[in-house]
Structure 1
Amino acid sequence: MGKDILIRDQIFSTYDSLYDAEKKVADYVAGHQEDVINMSVAELAQNCATSQATVIRFCKKIGCEGFHKLKLKLAGEQSKQEELAASNEINIENMEQSLHNIMVSKVEEIKATFHNFDQKELRNIVDAVLGANLIEFAAMGNTIPIAMDGTYKFNQLGLHAVTSPMWETQEAFARTLKKGDVFFAISASGASKRLIRMAKIVKKQGGVTVAVTNQAKSPITEICDHVIITATREHIFYDQVSFTRMAAMAVIDTLFMLILSMKNDFFENVAEHERSVIEEKL
Protein backbone atom coordinates (compact mmCIF):
# COMPACT_ATOMS: atom_id res chain seq x y z
CA MET A 1 0.00 0.00 0.00
CA GLY A 2 1.07 3.60 -0.56
CA LYS A 3 0.26 4.44 3.07
CA ASP A 4 0.23 2.54 6.34
CA ILE A 5 -3.21 1.06 6.79
CA LEU A 6 -4.93 1.96 10.04
CA ILE A 7 -5.01 -0.82 12.64
CA ARG A 8 -8.81 -1.07 12.55
CA ASP A 9 -8.72 -1.45 8.76
CA GLN A 10 -6.02 -4.10 9.01
CA ILE A 11 -8.25 -5.95 11.45
CA PHE A 12 -11.35 -5.75 9.26
CA SER A 13 -9.49 -6.68 6.07
CA THR A 14 -7.97 -9.81 7.64
CA TYR A 15 -10.83 -10.71 9.99
CA ASP A 16 -12.19 -13.64 7.99
CA SER A 17 -8.76 -15.27 7.85
CA LEU A 18 -8.29 -15.20 11.63
CA TYR A 19 -8.84 -18.19 13.90
CA ASP A 20 -11.63 -17.92 16.49
CA ALA A 21 -9.23 -17.16 19.32
CA GLU A 22 -7.55 -14.46 17.23
CA LYS A 23 -10.96 -12.97 16.41
CA LYS A 24 -11.51 -12.47 20.15
CA VAL A 25 -8.37 -10.35 20.20
CA ALA A 26 -9.43 -8.54 17.03
CA ASP A 27 -12.86 -7.71 18.46
CA TYR A 28 -11.37 -6.43 21.70
CA VAL A 29 -8.67 -4.31 20.04
CA ALA A 30 -11.15 -2.80 17.57
CA GLY A 31 -13.49 -1.80 20.37
CA HIS A 32 -10.96 -0.80 23.06
CA GLN A 33 -8.05 0.84 21.25
CA GLU A 34 -7.36 3.42 23.95
CA ASP A 35 -7.37 0.76 26.69
CA VAL A 36 -5.05 -1.57 24.75
CA ILE A 37 -2.41 1.16 24.53
CA ASN A 38 -1.95 0.94 28.32
CA MET A 39 -2.08 -2.87 28.62
CA SER A 40 0.59 -5.52 28.76
CA VAL A 41 0.36 -8.52 26.48
CA ALA A 42 -0.66 -10.63 29.48
CA GLU A 43 -3.47 -8.22 30.37
CA LEU A 44 -4.81 -8.20 26.81
CA ALA A 45 -4.71 -11.99 26.69
CA GLN A 46 -6.61 -12.17 29.97
CA ASN A 47 -9.28 -9.72 28.79
CA CYS A 48 -9.74 -11.77 25.63
CA ALA A 49 -9.77 -15.11 27.45
CA THR A 50 -6.95 -16.35 25.26
CA SER A 51 -3.19 -16.91 25.40
CA GLN A 52 -0.29 -14.50 25.01
CA ALA A 53 0.89 -16.55 22.02
CA THR A 54 -2.48 -15.94 20.34
CA VAL A 55 -2.12 -12.19 20.89
CA ILE A 56 1.33 -12.23 19.28
CA ARG A 57 0.06 -14.26 16.31
CA PHE A 58 -2.79 -11.78 15.89
CA CYS A 59 -0.34 -8.87 15.89
CA LYS A 60 1.76 -10.46 13.16
CA LYS A 61 -1.30 -11.28 11.04
CA ILE A 62 -2.33 -7.62 10.96
CA GLY A 63 1.15 -6.47 9.99
CA CYS A 64 2.74 -5.66 13.37
CA GLU A 65 5.98 -7.34 14.41
CA GLY A 66 4.74 -7.74 17.96
CA PHE A 67 2.49 -6.35 20.68
CA HIS A 68 4.77 -3.36 21.37
CA LYS A 69 4.59 -2.35 17.72
CA LEU A 70 0.79 -2.66 17.83
CA LYS A 71 0.62 -0.32 20.84
CA LEU A 72 2.90 2.23 19.17
CA LYS A 73 0.72 2.30 16.06
CA LEU A 74 -2.46 2.57 18.09
CA ALA A 75 -1.02 5.45 20.10
CA GLY A 76 0.04 7.27 16.93
CA GLU A 77 -3.36 6.82 15.35
CA GLN A 78 -5.14 7.83 18.54
CA SER A 79 -3.37 11.18 18.59
CA LYS A 80 -4.38 11.92 15.01
CA GLN A 81 -8.02 10.92 15.16
CA GLU A 82 -10.75 13.19 16.41
CA GLU A 83 -12.75 11.56 19.14
CA LEU A 84 -16.34 10.98 18.07
CA ALA A 85 -19.10 10.55 20.62
CA ALA A 86 -20.36 7.36 19.03
CA SER A 87 -20.99 3.83 20.23
CA ASN A 88 -21.47 0.43 18.62
CA GLU A 89 -25.14 0.15 19.55
CA ILE A 90 -28.04 0.19 17.11
CA ASN A 91 -31.33 0.45 18.98
CA ILE A 92 -34.51 1.73 17.36
CA GLU A 93 -35.72 2.90 20.77
CA ASN A 94 -32.80 5.33 20.78
CA MET A 95 -33.15 6.57 17.22
CA GLU A 96 -31.03 9.71 17.50
CA GLN A 97 -27.98 7.90 18.87
CA SER A 98 -28.44 4.99 16.45
CA LEU A 99 -28.54 7.31 13.42
CA HIS A 100 -25.44 9.09 14.69
CA ASN A 101 -23.61 5.77 15.14
CA ILE A 102 -24.51 4.66 11.61
CA MET A 103 -23.47 8.02 10.16
CA VAL A 104 -20.09 7.88 11.89
CA SER A 105 -19.62 4.32 10.63
CA LYS A 106 -20.38 5.34 7.02
CA VAL A 107 -18.08 8.36 7.17
CA GLU A 108 -15.27 6.23 8.58
CA GLU A 109 -15.75 3.64 5.82
CA ILE A 110 -15.29 6.26 3.10
CA LYS A 111 -12.36 7.95 4.83
CA ALA A 112 -10.61 4.66 5.47
CA THR A 113 -11.16 3.45 1.90
CA PHE A 114 -9.56 6.61 0.52
CA HIS A 115 -6.76 6.35 3.08
CA ASN A 116 -6.04 2.84 1.82
CA PHE A 117 -5.77 3.86 -1.83
CA ASP A 118 -2.39 3.18 -3.40
CA GLN A 119 -1.93 6.08 -5.85
CA LYS A 120 0.44 4.16 -8.11
CA GLU A 121 -1.94 1.21 -8.22
CA LEU A 122 -4.87 3.47 -9.11
CA ARG A 123 -2.87 5.05 -11.94
CA ASN A 124 -1.95 1.62 -13.29
CA ILE A 125 -5.61 0.58 -13.24
CA VAL A 126 -6.70 3.78 -15.01
CA ASP A 127 -4.02 3.29 -17.67
CA ALA A 128 -5.15 -0.32 -18.17
CA VAL A 129 -8.77 0.78 -18.58
CA LEU A 130 -7.80 3.44 -21.11
CA GLY A 131 -5.90 0.84 -23.13
CA ALA A 132 -8.67 -1.76 -23.10
CA ASN A 133 -11.08 -2.54 -25.90
CA LEU A 134 -13.53 -4.18 -23.49
CA ILE A 135 -14.05 -3.88 -19.73
CA GLU A 136 -16.08 -6.30 -17.65
CA PHE A 137 -17.45 -5.84 -14.15
CA ALA A 138 -18.26 -9.11 -12.40
CA ALA A 139 -19.89 -9.69 -9.03
CA MET A 140 -22.13 -12.08 -7.13
CA GLY A 141 -25.16 -11.52 -4.90
CA ASN A 142 -25.58 -8.10 -3.32
CA THR A 143 -22.48 -6.73 -5.06
CA ILE A 144 -24.10 -7.05 -8.50
CA PRO A 145 -25.52 -3.49 -8.30
CA ILE A 146 -21.95 -2.21 -7.91
CA ALA A 147 -20.92 -4.01 -11.10
CA MET A 148 -23.91 -2.55 -12.90
CA ASP A 149 -23.06 0.93 -11.64
CA GLY A 150 -19.48 0.56 -12.87
CA THR A 151 -20.70 -0.58 -16.27
CA TYR A 152 -23.13 2.33 -16.53
CA LYS A 153 -20.53 4.95 -15.55
CA PHE A 154 -17.85 3.59 -17.85
CA ASN A 155 -20.29 3.47 -20.77
CA GLN A 156 -21.15 7.11 -20.01
CA LEU A 157 -17.49 7.90 -20.60
CA GLY A 158 -17.66 6.25 -24.00
CA LEU A 159 -15.79 3.13 -22.92
CA HIS A 160 -17.00 -0.35 -23.82
CA ALA A 161 -18.07 -2.00 -20.56
CA VAL A 162 -20.30 -5.01 -19.87
CA THR A 163 -21.82 -6.92 -16.98
CA SER A 164 -24.82 -9.11 -16.20
CA PRO A 165 -26.86 -10.08 -13.13
CA MET A 166 -26.39 -13.71 -14.24
CA TRP A 167 -23.06 -15.34 -13.41
CA GLU A 168 -23.33 -17.57 -16.49
CA THR A 169 -23.43 -14.47 -18.71
CA GLN A 170 -20.58 -12.89 -16.76
CA GLU A 171 -18.46 -15.95 -17.43
CA ALA A 172 -19.45 -15.91 -21.09
CA PHE A 173 -18.30 -12.28 -21.29
CA ALA A 174 -15.05 -13.20 -19.52
CA ARG A 175 -14.28 -15.71 -22.23
CA THR A 176 -14.50 -12.96 -24.86
CA LEU A 177 -11.92 -10.71 -23.20
CA LYS A 178 -8.63 -10.52 -25.07
CA LYS A 179 -5.12 -9.33 -24.33
CA GLY A 180 -5.21 -5.89 -22.70
CA ASP A 181 -8.90 -6.01 -21.80
CA VAL A 182 -9.80 -5.37 -18.15
CA PHE A 183 -11.80 -7.53 -15.74
CA PHE A 184 -13.05 -6.13 -12.41
CA ALA A 185 -13.90 -8.78 -9.78
CA ILE A 186 -15.96 -7.23 -6.97
CA SER A 187 -16.16 -9.51 -3.94
CA ALA A 188 -16.57 -8.90 -0.20
CA SER A 189 -14.82 -12.08 0.88
CA GLY A 190 -12.52 -12.41 -2.10
CA ALA A 191 -13.35 -16.11 -2.04
CA SER A 192 -16.08 -16.49 -4.68
CA LYS A 193 -15.27 -19.62 -6.68
CA ARG A 194 -17.05 -18.26 -9.75
CA LEU A 195 -15.20 -14.95 -9.73
CA ILE A 196 -11.90 -16.73 -9.15
CA ARG A 197 -12.60 -18.99 -12.12
CA MET A 198 -13.46 -15.99 -14.30
CA ALA A 199 -10.30 -14.15 -13.25
CA LYS A 200 -8.22 -17.18 -14.17
CA ILE A 201 -9.92 -17.36 -17.56
CA VAL A 202 -9.20 -13.68 -18.26
CA LYS A 203 -5.56 -13.96 -17.16
CA LYS A 204 -5.06 -16.97 -19.40
CA GLN A 205 -6.30 -14.88 -22.32
CA GLY A 206 -3.93 -12.02 -21.52
CA GLY A 207 -6.43 -9.71 -19.85
CA VAL A 208 -5.79 -7.43 -16.88
CA THR A 209 -7.56 -8.39 -13.66
CA VAL A 210 -8.56 -6.04 -10.83
CA ALA A 211 -9.94 -7.15 -7.45
CA VAL A 212 -12.15 -4.86 -5.35
CA THR A 213 -12.54 -6.52 -1.95
CA ASN A 214 -12.61 -6.12 1.82
CA GLN A 215 -10.12 -8.93 2.34
CA ALA A 216 -6.47 -8.07 1.71
CA LYS A 217 -5.48 -11.71 2.15
CA SER A 218 -7.87 -13.75 0.02
CA PRO A 219 -7.82 -16.05 -3.02
CA ILE A 220 -8.94 -13.29 -5.38
CA THR A 221 -6.13 -10.92 -4.33
CA GLU A 222 -3.57 -13.65 -4.94
CA ILE A 223 -4.81 -14.08 -8.51
CA CYS A 224 -5.53 -10.54 -9.70
CA ASP A 225 -2.94 -8.17 -11.17
CA HIS A 226 -4.24 -5.18 -9.22
CA VAL A 227 -6.05 -4.91 -5.89
CA ILE A 228 -8.21 -2.20 -4.31
CA ILE A 229 -9.06 -2.76 -0.65
CA THR A 230 -12.33 -1.30 0.62
CA ALA A 231 -12.89 -0.52 4.29
CA THR A 232 -15.87 -1.75 6.29
CA ARG A 233 -17.24 -0.89 9.70
CA GLU A 234 -20.19 -3.29 9.71
CA HIS A 235 -18.45 -5.79 12.00
CA ILE A 236 -18.78 -3.14 14.70
CA PHE A 237 -22.56 -3.62 14.70
CA TYR A 238 -23.24 -7.10 13.39
CA ASP A 239 -20.78 -9.97 13.04
CA GLN A 240 -22.48 -11.43 9.96
CA VAL A 241 -22.55 -8.17 7.95
CA SER A 242 -19.18 -7.60 6.36
CA PHE A 243 -19.68 -5.62 3.16
CA THR A 244 -21.52 -2.44 2.31
CA ARG A 245 -21.96 -0.94 -1.11
CA MET A 246 -20.92 2.55 -0.10
CA ALA A 247 -17.15 1.93 0.01
CA ALA A 248 -17.14 -0.08 -3.21
CA MET A 249 -19.32 2.53 -4.92
CA ALA A 250 -16.74 5.11 -3.82
CA VAL A 251 -14.09 3.09 -5.66
CA ILE A 252 -16.19 3.14 -8.84
CA ASP A 253 -16.82 6.88 -8.49
CA THR A 254 -13.11 7.51 -7.94
CA LEU A 255 -12.09 5.62 -11.07
CA PHE A 256 -14.86 7.38 -13.01
CA MET A 257 -13.67 10.84 -11.94
CA LEU A 258 -10.00 10.07 -12.58
CA ILE A 259 -10.75 8.77 -16.07
CA LEU A 260 -13.09 11.70 -16.75
CA SER A 261 -10.20 14.07 -16.02
CA MET A 262 -7.98 12.48 -18.66
CA LYS A 263 -9.63 13.65 -21.89
CA ASN A 264 -12.15 16.27 -23.00
CA ASP A 265 -13.79 13.58 -25.12
CA PHE A 266 -14.84 11.76 -21.96
CA PHE A 267 -16.47 14.88 -20.57
CA GLU A 268 -18.33 15.47 -23.83
CA ASN A 269 -19.56 11.87 -23.83
CA VAL A 270 -20.93 12.24 -20.30
CA ALA A 271 -22.50 15.62 -21.10
CA GLU A 272 -24.18 14.23 -24.21
CA HIS A 273 -25.53 11.30 -22.24
CA GLU A 274 -26.90 13.61 -19.55
CA ARG A 275 -28.62 15.73 -22.21
CA SER A 276 -30.32 12.69 -23.67
CA VAL A 277 -31.50 11.58 -20.21
CA ILE A 278 -32.90 15.05 -19.44
CA GLU A 279 -35.07 14.84 -22.57
CA GLU A 280 -36.90 11.89 -21.02
CA LYS A 281 -37.82 13.77 -17.86
CA LEU A 282 -41.07 15.69 -17.34
Structure 2
Amino acid sequence: MSLDKLVESHYDQLNEIDLYIWQYIYHHKRECQKISIHELAHACNVSHTSILRFTKKLGLDGFSELKVYIKWDLSQKSEFTPQIIDDACNGLSNTIEEMRHSDFTSIFDKLTQAEHVFVYGTGIVQNHMAKELKRNFLYSNKVLHIVGEGVEIDTVLNNVTKDDLFIIISLSGDNEDAVTLARALKGLQVPRIGIAKSNRCVLSQYCDEMITFKYDTFKLDTADLRYGSTAHFFIIADLLFLKYLEYLNEQK
Protein backbone atom coordinates (compact mmCIF):
# COMPACT_ATOMS: atom_id res chain seq x y z
CA MET A 1 0.00 0.00 0.00
CA SER A 2 1.29 3.47 -0.89
CA LEU A 3 1.76 6.08 1.83
CA ASP A 4 -1.05 8.14 0.29
CA LYS A 5 -3.48 5.22 0.59
CA LEU A 6 -2.27 4.47 4.11
CA VAL A 7 -3.02 8.04 5.21
CA GLU A 8 -6.40 7.92 3.48
CA SER A 9 -7.33 4.70 5.29
CA HIS A 10 -6.56 6.30 8.70
CA TYR A 11 -7.83 9.80 7.87
CA ASP A 12 -10.57 9.84 10.50
CA GLN A 13 -7.97 9.39 13.25
CA LEU A 14 -5.85 12.37 12.17
CA ASN A 15 -6.13 15.79 13.79
CA GLU A 16 -5.12 19.17 12.35
CA ILE A 17 -1.47 18.81 13.43
CA ASP A 18 -1.28 15.36 11.81
CA LEU A 19 -2.69 16.78 8.57
CA TYR A 20 -0.13 19.58 8.54
CA ILE A 21 2.64 17.00 8.98
CA TRP A 22 1.20 14.93 6.15
CA GLN A 23 0.88 17.98 3.92
CA TYR A 24 4.57 18.74 4.36
CA ILE A 25 5.62 15.14 3.73
CA TYR A 26 3.37 14.86 0.66
CA HIS A 27 4.97 17.91 -0.98
CA HIS A 28 8.56 17.13 0.14
CA LYS A 29 8.87 13.36 -0.10
CA ARG A 30 12.38 13.37 -1.57
CA GLU A 31 13.67 15.66 1.19
CA CYS A 32 11.84 13.67 3.89
CA GLN A 33 13.54 10.50 2.69
CA LYS A 34 16.86 11.85 4.01
CA ILE A 35 16.05 14.05 7.02
CA SER A 36 15.90 13.11 10.70
CA ILE A 37 12.77 13.16 12.82
CA HIS A 38 13.98 16.34 14.53
CA GLU A 39 14.56 18.05 11.17
CA LEU A 40 11.07 17.08 10.03
CA ALA A 41 9.59 18.33 13.30
CA HIS A 42 11.41 21.65 12.83
CA ALA A 43 10.16 21.95 9.24
CA CYS A 44 6.58 21.31 10.38
CA ASN A 45 6.97 23.53 13.48
CA VAL A 46 5.87 20.69 15.77
CA SER A 47 7.56 18.49 18.37
CA HIS A 48 9.23 15.20 17.46
CA THR A 49 6.63 13.43 19.64
CA SER A 50 3.94 14.83 17.32
CA ILE A 51 5.72 13.11 14.42
CA LEU A 52 5.81 9.84 16.39
CA ARG A 53 2.11 10.12 17.26
CA PHE A 54 1.37 10.68 13.56
CA THR A 55 3.23 7.50 12.58
CA LYS A 56 1.45 5.49 15.30
CA LYS A 57 -1.95 6.64 14.02
CA LEU A 58 -0.95 5.22 10.62
CA GLY A 59 -0.22 1.87 12.25
CA LEU A 60 3.55 2.22 11.79
CA ASP A 61 6.23 1.24 14.29
CA GLY A 62 7.84 4.66 14.11
CA PHE A 63 9.65 7.24 12.01
CA SER A 64 11.99 4.68 10.42
CA GLU A 65 9.08 2.72 8.96
CA LEU A 66 7.55 5.97 7.69
CA LYS A 67 10.76 6.64 5.77
CA VAL A 68 10.56 3.13 4.30
CA TYR A 69 7.13 3.97 2.91
CA ILE A 70 8.46 7.28 1.52
CA LYS A 71 11.38 5.49 -0.15
CA TRP A 72 9.01 2.89 -1.62
CA ASP A 73 6.72 5.62 -2.99
CA LEU A 74 9.64 7.37 -4.65
CA SER A 75 10.89 4.13 -6.23
CA GLN A 76 7.61 3.42 -8.02
CA LYS A 77 7.50 3.73 -11.80
CA SER A 78 4.69 5.14 -13.87
CA GLU A 79 1.36 3.58 -12.91
CA PHE A 80 -0.41 4.40 -16.17
CA THR A 81 -2.79 1.77 -17.53
CA PRO A 82 -5.75 2.10 -19.93
CA GLN A 83 -8.03 1.65 -16.91
CA ILE A 84 -6.98 5.12 -15.76
CA ILE A 85 -8.87 6.64 -18.71
CA ASP A 86 -12.03 4.78 -17.70
CA ASP A 87 -11.56 5.84 -14.08
CA ALA A 88 -11.11 9.48 -15.11
CA CYS A 89 -14.28 9.41 -17.22
CA ASN A 90 -16.21 7.75 -14.40
CA GLY A 91 -14.92 10.34 -11.95
CA LEU A 92 -16.05 13.21 -14.15
CA SER A 93 -19.44 11.54 -14.65
CA ASN A 94 -19.79 11.15 -10.89
CA THR A 95 -19.04 14.86 -10.41
CA ILE A 96 -21.72 15.75 -12.97
CA GLU A 97 -24.30 13.53 -11.26
CA GLU A 98 -23.36 14.81 -7.82
CA MET A 99 -23.80 18.40 -9.00
CA ARG A 100 -27.06 17.53 -10.75
CA HIS A 101 -28.68 16.10 -7.61
CA SER A 102 -27.14 18.28 -4.89
CA ASP A 103 -29.19 20.92 -3.10
CA PHE A 104 -27.26 24.20 -3.05
CA THR A 105 -30.08 26.31 -1.62
CA SER A 106 -28.17 27.32 1.52
CA ILE A 107 -25.13 28.25 -0.58
CA PHE A 108 -27.21 30.32 -2.98
CA ASP A 109 -29.00 32.00 -0.08
CA LYS A 110 -25.61 33.16 1.20
CA LEU A 111 -24.58 34.19 -2.33
CA THR A 112 -27.64 36.37 -2.96
CA GLN A 113 -27.59 37.95 0.48
CA ALA A 114 -23.85 38.75 0.50
CA GLU A 115 -22.85 42.35 0.08
CA HIS A 116 -19.58 41.29 -1.54
CA VAL A 117 -18.48 37.85 -2.79
CA PHE A 118 -14.76 37.08 -2.82
CA VAL A 119 -13.12 34.07 -4.48
CA TYR A 120 -9.66 32.76 -3.60
CA GLY A 121 -7.82 29.98 -5.45
CA THR A 122 -4.67 28.31 -4.15
CA GLY A 123 -3.01 27.56 -7.50
CA ILE A 124 -3.04 28.10 -11.26
CA VAL A 125 -5.98 25.79 -12.04
CA GLN A 126 -7.90 27.01 -9.00
CA ASN A 127 -7.40 30.61 -10.16
CA HIS A 128 -8.71 29.64 -13.60
CA MET A 129 -11.81 28.23 -11.93
CA ALA A 130 -12.19 31.47 -9.97
CA LYS A 131 -12.14 33.38 -13.26
CA GLU A 132 -14.73 31.01 -14.74
CA LEU A 133 -17.00 31.53 -11.76
CA LYS A 134 -16.59 35.30 -12.10
CA ARG A 135 -17.34 35.18 -15.85
CA ASN A 136 -20.35 32.88 -15.42
CA PHE A 137 -22.01 34.80 -12.60
CA LEU A 138 -21.69 38.09 -14.45
CA TYR A 139 -24.46 36.75 -16.70
CA SER A 140 -26.77 37.00 -13.69
CA ASN A 141 -25.39 40.43 -12.68
CA LYS A 142 -23.61 38.93 -9.70
CA VAL A 143 -20.10 40.33 -9.34
CA LEU A 144 -17.41 38.08 -7.82
CA HIS A 145 -14.11 39.60 -6.71
CA ILE A 146 -11.03 37.43 -7.19
CA VAL A 147 -8.62 37.79 -4.28
CA GLY A 148 -5.00 37.86 -5.39
CA GLU A 149 -5.84 39.41 -8.74
CA GLY A 150 -5.11 43.01 -7.85
CA VAL A 151 -6.80 42.51 -4.48
CA GLU A 152 -4.44 41.51 -1.67
CA ILE A 153 -5.66 39.17 1.06
CA ASP A 154 -4.49 41.43 3.90
CA THR A 155 -6.44 44.35 2.44
CA VAL A 156 -9.58 42.23 2.13
CA LEU A 157 -9.27 40.83 5.66
CA ASN A 158 -9.01 44.35 7.05
CA ASN A 159 -12.26 45.35 5.38
CA VAL A 160 -14.39 42.20 5.02
CA THR A 161 -17.49 41.86 7.20
CA LYS A 162 -19.96 39.17 8.21
CA ASP A 163 -22.25 40.49 5.46
CA ASP A 164 -19.78 39.28 2.81
CA LEU A 165 -19.05 35.78 1.48
CA PHE A 166 -15.79 33.98 0.71
CA ILE A 167 -15.37 31.06 -1.71
CA ILE A 168 -12.08 29.21 -1.19
CA ILE A 169 -10.87 26.80 -3.90
CA SER A 170 -8.23 24.22 -2.98
CA LEU A 171 -7.54 20.88 -4.64
CA SER A 172 -6.45 18.98 -1.54
CA GLY A 173 -8.33 21.07 1.01
CA ASP A 174 -5.21 20.86 3.18
CA ASN A 175 -3.38 23.79 1.58
CA GLU A 176 -1.85 25.91 4.36
CA ASP A 177 -2.77 29.26 2.79
CA ALA A 178 -6.38 28.18 2.22
CA VAL A 179 -6.74 26.81 5.76
CA THR A 180 -5.13 29.89 7.34
CA LEU A 181 -7.47 32.16 5.36
CA ALA A 182 -10.55 30.11 6.28
CA ARG A 183 -9.56 30.11 9.95
CA ALA A 184 -9.13 33.90 9.93
CA LEU A 185 -12.48 34.39 8.20
CA LYS A 186 -14.19 32.12 10.71
CA GLY A 187 -12.82 34.30 13.49
CA LEU A 188 -14.31 37.32 11.72
CA GLN A 189 -17.64 35.46 11.33
CA VAL A 190 -17.51 35.81 7.55
CA PRO A 191 -19.50 33.05 5.74
CA ARG A 192 -17.22 30.59 3.95
CA ILE A 193 -17.72 28.07 1.14
CA GLY A 194 -14.96 25.59 0.36
CA ILE A 195 -14.35 23.69 -2.88
CA ALA A 196 -11.98 20.71 -2.63
CA LYS A 197 -11.58 17.07 -3.61
CA SER A 198 -12.94 15.72 -0.34
CA ASN A 199 -14.86 16.60 2.82
CA ARG A 200 -12.10 14.84 4.74
CA CYS A 201 -9.73 17.81 4.79
CA VAL A 202 -8.67 20.60 7.14
CA LEU A 203 -10.48 23.24 5.06
CA SER A 204 -13.84 21.59 5.77
CA GLN A 205 -13.34 22.25 9.51
CA TYR A 206 -13.40 26.00 8.87
CA CYS A 207 -16.06 26.32 6.16
CA ASP A 208 -19.83 26.54 6.52
CA GLU A 209 -20.40 24.62 3.28
CA MET A 210 -18.27 22.33 1.09
CA ILE A 211 -18.55 21.39 -2.59
CA THR A 212 -16.46 18.30 -3.20
CA PHE A 213 -15.48 15.86 -5.91
CA LYS A 214 -13.56 12.59 -6.22
CA TYR A 215 -10.01 13.09 -7.49
CA ASP A 216 -7.53 10.30 -8.28
CA THR A 217 -3.92 10.62 -9.41
CA PHE A 218 -1.28 8.33 -10.86
CA LYS A 219 2.50 8.57 -10.86
CA LEU A 220 4.37 9.83 -13.90
CA ASP A 221 7.85 8.77 -14.96
CA THR A 222 8.88 12.44 -14.77
CA ALA A 223 10.57 13.14 -11.42
CA ASP A 224 8.14 12.68 -8.53
CA LEU A 225 5.10 14.11 -10.29
CA ARG A 226 1.58 12.76 -10.09
CA TYR A 227 -1.19 13.61 -12.53
CA GLY A 228 -4.94 13.87 -12.13
CA SER A 229 -7.71 15.40 -14.22
CA THR A 230 -8.62 18.92 -13.09
CA ALA A 231 -11.70 19.17 -15.31
CA HIS A 232 -13.81 18.73 -12.16
CA PHE A 233 -13.18 22.38 -11.30
CA PHE A 234 -14.68 23.61 -14.55
CA ILE A 235 -17.61 21.18 -14.44
CA ILE A 236 -18.42 22.54 -10.98
CA ALA A 237 -18.07 26.15 -12.17
CA ASP A 238 -20.50 25.59 -15.05
CA LEU A 239 -23.08 23.48 -13.23
CA LEU A 240 -23.01 25.62 -10.10
CA PHE A 241 -24.01 28.61 -12.24
CA LEU A 242 -26.76 26.64 -14.00
CA LYS A 243 -28.10 25.49 -10.63
CA TYR A 244 -27.99 29.12 -9.49
CA LEU A 245 -30.15 30.13 -12.47
CA GLU A 246 -32.59 27.39 -11.46
CA TYR A 247 -32.55 28.79 -7.90
CA LEU A 248 -33.30 32.31 -9.14
CA ASN A 249 -36.15 31.04 -11.30
CA GLU A 250 -37.68 29.23 -8.32
CA GLN A 251 -37.37 32.37 -6.16
CA LYS A 252 -39.50 34.23 -8.72
Quote how far apart the aligned CAs of 1:125 are: 0.9
- 8 A contact 2:119–2:166 mirrored in 1: yes
- CA deviation map 1:48-104 (0-9, x unaligned): xxxxx97xxxxxxxxxxxxxxxxxxxxxxxxxxxxxxxxx735xxxxxxx6x953x3
Q: 1:112 to 1:242 in 2, by over 3 A?
A: farther
Q: 1:241 aligns with which of 205, 211, 226?
A: 226
- Identify the residue that residue 49 of structure 2 maps to in structure 1: none
1:251 aligns with 2:236: yes
- Identify the residue that residue 207 of structure 1 maps to in structure 2: 190
- Identify the residue that residue 136 of structure 1 maps to in structure 2: 118
- Identify the residue that residue 91 of structure 2 maps to in structure 1: 109
1:162 aligns with 2:145: yes
Q: 2:201 aligns with which of 218, 228, 238?
A: 218
- 8 A contact 2:121–2:130 mirrored in 1: yes
Q: Structure 1 residue runs of 4+, over 6 Å off? A: 236-239
Quote how far apart the aligned CAs of 1:162 are: 0.6
- Identify the residue that residue 188 of structure 1 maps to in structure 2: 171
Aligned residue for 1:145, secondary structure, equals: helix
Q: 1:159 to 1:12 in 2, by over 3 A?
A: farther
Q: 1:194 to 1:181 in 2, by over 3 A?
A: same
Unaligned runs of 5+ in 1: 1-10, 20-52, 55-87, 91-97, 265-282
Q: For the residues of structure 1 that align with 2:207 and 2:102, how far apart are their CA atoms?
A: 17
Which structure would you say has the larger Rg? 1
- Identify the residue that residue 123 of structure 1 maps to in structure 2: 105
Give the TM-score, by structure 2 length: 0.58
Q: For the residues of structure 2 that align with 1:110 and 1:12, how far apart are their CA atoms?
A: 24
Quote how far apart the aligned CAs of 1:255 are: 1.4
Q: 2:156 aligns with which of 132, 151, 173?
A: 173
- CA deviation map 1:146-195 (0-9, x unaligned): 11211222223211211144597245334433223221111111122222
Give the TM-score, by structure 1 length: 0.53
1:89 aligns with 2:71: no
Q: For the residues of structure 2 that align with 1:108 and 1:243, how far apart are their CA atoms?
A: 13
- 8 A contact 1:171–1:198 mirrored in 2: no
Unaligned runs of 5+ in 2: 15-57, 60-78
Q: 1:145 aligns with which of 100, 120, 128?
A: 128
- CA deviation map 1:179-222 (0-9, x unaligned): 23221111111122222222223223332111111132211011
- 8 A contact 2:118–2:166 mirrored in 1: yes
Q: For the residues of structure 2 that align with 1:13 and 1:105, how far apart are their CA atoms?
A: 21
Q: For the residues of structure 2 that align with 1:192 and 1:159, how far apart are their CA atoms?
A: 28
Q: For the residues of structure 2 that align with 1:132 and 1:15, how far apart are their CA atoms?
A: 38
Q: For the residues of structure 2 that align with 1:105 and 1:248, how far apart are their CA atoms?
A: 17
Identity across the alignment (%): 15
Q: 1:228 to 1:237 in 2, by over 3 A?
A: farther
Aligned residue for 2:152, secondary structure, equals: helix
Q: 1:201 to 1:154 in 2, by over 3 A?
A: farther
Q: 1:261 to 1:216 in 2, by over 3 A?
A: closer
Q: 1:101 to 1:217 in 2, by over 3 A?
A: closer
**Match runs of 1:256-267 below 5 Å:** 256-263=241-248
